[in-house]
Amino acid sequence: MKGKAVPHLIGVFPLGMMSLFFLAPLAFMVMVSFYERDPLGFFNEAFVWDNYAKFFSSFYYTISLRSLWSASLGAVLVVLLAFPAMYIIVDMARRWQLFWVILLLSLMCLSEVIIGFAWLILFSENSGIPKFMGWIGVWENPRSLSPSFGAMMVGYVTLGFSLVALMFLPQLARRDRSIEEAALTLGTPPMQVFSKVILPNFKAGIVSALVTMFVYFLGVFVMPTMLGRPQDWNMTVIITDKAVGDANMPLGAALSVIMLIFTLFIIGALTYASRNKDKGALT
Amino acid sequence: MATLSLSNIQKSFGTFQALRDVNLDIRSGEFICLLGGSGCGKTTLLRIIAGLEEMTSGNLLLENSDLSSIECHKRNVGMVFQSLALFPHLNVGDNIAYGLEVRGVAKSKRRQKATDLLEVVGLSGLYERKVSALSGGQRQRVAIARALAIEPKLFLMDEPFSALDAGLREHLQIEVKKLQRKLGVTTIFVTHDQHEAMSIADRIVILNEGRIEQAGTPTEVYARPQTRFVADFMGTNNIFSPIFTPGADAMLEDANLGRPSGELGQWSGKHTVAVRPEYLQLKPASADSTGLVGTVDFVRLLGASIETELSVGDRSFVHTMVSDRAPQFAVGDSVEISFDFDHAWVIPS
Amino acid sequence: MIPIFKRLFVTAIAVGLILPFVIVAGVSINSASNISFPPSELSLKWYTQLLTEPDWLLPIRNSLSIAAVAGFIAVSIALAANYVLWRLKSGFGKLVFGLGLGPFMLPPIIIAMGASVFWAEMGFYGRVEATVISHGVFFVTLPLVILARGFAALSDDVIEASRTMGATPWQTFVKVIFPLVLPYAITGYALVAIISVNEYLISYMVSGFVVETLPIRIFNNVRYGYTPVVASAAMGFALLTIGTLLVLSMFTDLLKLLGASRD
């Protein structure tokens, strides 16, 4: 058909931009991960496995496990809070929904740095919760609550909450409420409707939110450095530290490539699982 | 004896009065249609009976015991929702068996019951099928079977067929009616479609602005509408208010309608009458006609009948006749409209 | 009992999300030069400092100019990709669109690392252009999905109607399509700009040591001993973000845009 040439031509622009500035950097990263570090500049062209070999040491083993643990715990906590909260919020009056949407959008846009800083102050002994607890007499010798693993988790949850909540928003707002009413008329006690009908129906959405948050938390940098102790730091902090702090870009690239492969594997597994499920629906 | 008795039911949402003083007795095994336009309160009334909505005041008795104090999940009413509300995460059979599962019925027993019901609604062999893989009509049947599986005291349906095309719709209406007769379950069916109501109900309850306008058999509400609203809603198109004088001709403004026969001959003053389209007679108007003279606005062939729309001033009339002949009149023709007062129904209010 | 419990739960979460900023606001208007709450004496001196000292003004200017251009790049890529998908429906269009979804699926560190290596190799490491382009490309996903809603609302009939009336494809785009998707484009632009202003990791890894943005400035300040100016900067940030979103909510139906309305 006539007129298909122009759209193709226009398509070259986004395609070119994305290839050049999104795909090419990833490809470069893979290339550089085989380079050698140049103590005076960035790196020298080479083909060595050294950078990858470094990953297989007890140091990186611990870091990896720690990253996985904090990312999965954060993901579970966020979804555990966000799903029921949005379930309640979507049935509130319109202006309250708007209030929440603006609050969530603001938080989603707001810098990690700002959120981390706000919690840092709230956790500090001379202005936040510890001071308040000392003031009302619950805590005799108030000390700062951060840095700590708990403080870091609070930071994770604040950071991820808006994202997950906005993911659940359309699904929950547009759900067919008569399904819950049907469960009631069929004899389900009101307290069980949530577990018997709503949760199973949103299983796919919940799982994908968990995975999204897990992947997202693997890559956070500011929260661990601001609110966590050095022993809570995740792989992202180490990568940044190596690449920028030690100016060892090849090592940073290699570690990133490992994380990239891991992420792609998780996304692939999720897509595969959901596709299989869809197939099951048709037979 | 009344199975379900509604008295003085009121319901308001904020300042909006959804139901005003609704009184209705429903007999055991009766098929009731709640009929009305959108916002008339029919769905609200159904939801109050189901326990999904609380009434503001009034009494709701089932077999002489108070139903309103019982929570929805303990009422044992089977309801078919407008969206059907099938559980997407369960297969067909498990959807039907769901109500039995929450009642703690043993697995083999509820499986048996669901299989039996699938046969009743004509879906044998689809137990394991995903709900999403069913056609529209099949889903309707699953929703009906699911509601009936709990052997409900009341069977409630909220415009269940509104999303279906006309053919399938009529087919399912007949099936539901047959099924209901076989099981003898007291049924309340909400619809906005008067044809649907006429074809399935034992008794039609017409609601308007939260009030019952009329409750009666389909023939009653069609032939003897008690209010102007009912006459309009049931499609009795020719409604007008002539002035009657005993011993004289009835007059509609300047038009002479002739001498009323029978009881009507004794009436005096202004009364609203309804004449069904098939009882009007048309003939070409002559220059000296003193009767009701109108102009043909539109003529259309409706398969078995020919419908002619006419206007007299700002009043409109509709005439239908069997289409065994070609239309007698064309658009723009001047026509004299007449009718026999034996076929005129005086609307009481 | 149940509604009260629900309300309590939701309120607790709202408090948890808002409280930190109340404290920051309190700190930012306290005249004491060490961070403390509640404020002992009110003063706006930290805001004055924020808006007069070059130490803070430069990062603010950097952040705002990066955001302004990055938003433009992201929206133009998203607009082109959506137009192509909408015209071609499949194949090439889907490829272009799918590529735009990529950045949001990967952890930000991978993207930041990739960008850092890439710009180092290109000789642009530490240049503001590098940050601008990287932001523009990596935040393309937001305007992409938002514009997709706009294009989904466009029916083919509209275009065919325009063509039967004798409009060229270009005229159709300028006079019909663009006005209809403009609200979505503006929303997308605003969101990219806000996120760009707030972004830390990519800016830091691409040109952090040379081009100091506001988040980098705040982060460095917090790490190496800080004054209440940081609180006023954080507040300024939060207010700017919320303000932009409030203005946005007056022009567009945010609930509908996020898919929260029921039809």
Burial B289-303 (b: 16+ CB within 10 A, else e): bebbbbbbeebeeee
Instruction: Mark whether B243 and B301 lie in a shared domain.
Output: yes
Low-confidence ranges of chain B (pLDDT < 50): 1
Instruction: Mark whether B54 and B78 lie in a shared domain.
Output: yes
- For chain C, what percent of residues have pLDDT higher than 90? 13
C135-164 average pLDDT score: 84
Instruction: Mark whether B216 and B306 lie in a shared domain.
Output: no
Least Cα separation, residue C117 to chain A (angstroms): 6
Residue-level pLDDT at C2 = 61
pLDDT tens for each residue of B206-231? 999 999 999 999 999 988 888 989 98
A78 pLDDT higher than 90:
yes
Higher pLDDT among residues C142 and B207, named by residue: B207
Residue-level pLDDT at A238 = 86
Residue numbers in B near A178 (CB within 8 A) = 81-83, 85
Residue-level pLDDT at C104 = 81
Chain C, 25 to 54: residues with Cβ < 8 Å from chain A are: 26-27, 34-37
pLDDT tens for each residue of A87-113? 999 988 888 888 898 889 888 878 888
Element containing residue B27 per DSSP (H, E): strand B16-27
pLDDT tens for each residue of A21-74? 888 889 988 888 888 877 767 777 777 787 788 888 888 888 888 999 999 999
C10 and A85 in contact by Cβ < 8 A? yes
Which of A109, A110, A167 is the mutation pick for testing C, counting most C CBs within 10 A?
A: A109
- Domain contains A47: no
pTM of the model: 0.81
| Residue where one domain finishes, among candidates B233, B261, B276 | B233
C174-193 average pLDDT score: 87
- Domain contains A228: yes
Ramachandran class of B8: left when φ > 0, alpha when ψ lies in -120 to 50, beta otherwise: left
Higher pLDDT among residues C258 and B117, named by residue: B117
| CATH number of the domain encompassing residue A159 | 1.10.3720.10
| Helix ranges restricted to H, C29-155 | 45-52, 54-88, 92-101, 108-122, 128-138, 141-152
C162 pLDDT higher than 70:
yes
Chains with at least 3 CB pairs less than 8 angstroms from chain A? B, C
Residues in contact with A222: Cβ distance below 8 Å, sequence separation at least 6, in sequence order: A111, A112, A113, A116, C200, C201, C219
Higher pLDDT among residues B283 and C252, named by residue: B283
Residue-level pLDDT at C48 = 84
Residue-level pLDDT at A77 = 96
Radius of gyration of chain B (CA): 25
Q: How many domains does chain B have?
A: 2
**Residue A120: closest CA among A91, A147, A80:** A147
A214 pLDDT higher than 60:
yes
Environment class of C193 (CB within 10 Å of its CB; exposed 0-12, middle 13-18, buried 19+)? buried
Least Cα separation, residue A222 to chain C (angstroms): 8
Which of C2, C73, C87, C117 is the mutation pick for testing A, counting most A CBs within 10 A?
A: C117
What DSSP assignment string belongs to B192-254? S-HHHHHHH-SEEEEEETTEEEEEE-HHHHHHS-SSHHHHHHTT--EEE-PEE-TTS--EETT
Tell me whether chains B and C touch (3+ CB pairs under 8 A): no
Query: C218 touching A, CB under 8 A?
Result: yes
| CATH number of the domain encompassing residue B197 | 3.40.50.300
A11 pLDDT higher than 80:
yes
Q: What angle is formed at CA B84 by the lines to CA B79 and CA B90, rounded to 5 degrees?
A: 100
> Per the omega criterion (within 30 degrees of 0), is the bond before C38 cis?
yes
Query: A188 touching B, CB under 8 A?
Result: yes
C228-242 average pLDDT score: 83
List the beta bridge partners of residue B305: B302, B322
Instruction: Mark whether B72 and B123 lie in a shared domain.
Output: yes
Q: What domain range includes position B152?
A: 2-233
pLDDT tens for each residue of C59-99? 889 999 999 999 999 999 999 998 888 888 777 888 888 88
Residue numbers in C near A113 (CB within 8 A) = 198, 200, 215, 218-219, 222
Instruction: Mark whether B85 and B22 lie in a shared domain.
Output: yes
List the beta bridge partners of residue C30: C42
Least Cα separation, residue B133 to chain A (angstroms): 6
Instruction: Mark whether B228 and B316 lie in a shared domain.
Output: no
Higher pLDDT among residues B235 and A171, named by residue: A171
Q: How confident is the model at residue A281 (pLDDT cuts 50, 70, 90)?
A: very low
Between A179, A188, A281, which is nearest B73 by CB?
A188
Q: Which residue has the tokens 């506001």?
A: C214
Residue B45, number of CB atoms within 10 A of its CB: 27
Instruction: Mark whether B34 and B152 lie in a shared domain.
Output: yes
pLDDT tens for each residue of B158-203? 998 888 888 888 889 999 999 999 999 999 999 999 989 999 999 9
- Which of these CATH numbers, 1.10.3720.10, 1.10.10.60, 3.30.450.20, 1.10.760.10, describes C53-257? 1.10.3720.10
A158-172 average pLDDT score: 90
Residue numbers in B near A185 (CB within 8 A) = 50-52, 72-73, 75, 77-79, 147, 156
- Domain contains A117: yes
Residues in contact with B158: Cβ distance below 8 Å, sequence separation at least 6, in sequence order: B43, B46, B47, B79, B80, B81, B82, B190
Residue-level pLDDT at A114 = 85
Q: How confident is the model at residue A3 (pLDDT cuts 50, 70, 90)?
A: low
Query: C17 touching A, CB under 8 A?
Result: yes
Instruction: Mark whether B146 and B166 lie in a shared domain.
Output: yes
- Return the number of CB contacts < 8 Å for A and C: 279
Residue-level pLDDT at A278 = 56
Strand ranges of the sheet holding B77-80, from the earlier edge strand across to the other edge: B77-80, B154-158, B186-191, B31-35, B203-208, B211-216
Residue of C nearest to A218 (CA): C107
Element containing residue B299 per DSSP (H, E): strand B292-302
Chain A, 95 to 154: residues with Cβ < 8 Å from chain C are: 97-98, 100-103, 105-107, 109-122, 124, 126-128, 131
C239 pLDDT higher than 60:
yes
- Domain contains A215: yes
Q: What domain range includes position A74?
A: 64-282
A203-215 average pLDDT score: 89
| Residue where one domain finishes, among candidates B216, B233, B250 | B233
User: Domain extents for chain C?
Assistant: 1-43, 53-257
Residue of B nearest to A179 (CA): B85
Residue-level pLDDT at C262 = 52
Q: How many domains does chain A have?
A: 1
Residue numbers in A near B87 (CB within 8 A) = 179, 182-183, 197, 200-201
Q: How confident is the model at residue A283 (pLDDT cuts 50, 70, 90)?
A: very low
| CATH number of the domain encompassing residue B258 | 2.40.50.140
Q: What is the CA B153 to chain-centroid distance, rounded?
A: 22
Between A178, A186, A190, which is nearest B98 by CB?
A186
B85 and A176 in contact by Cβ < 8 A? yes
Higher pLDDT among residues C187 and A157, named by residue: A157
C24-51 average pLDDT score: 78
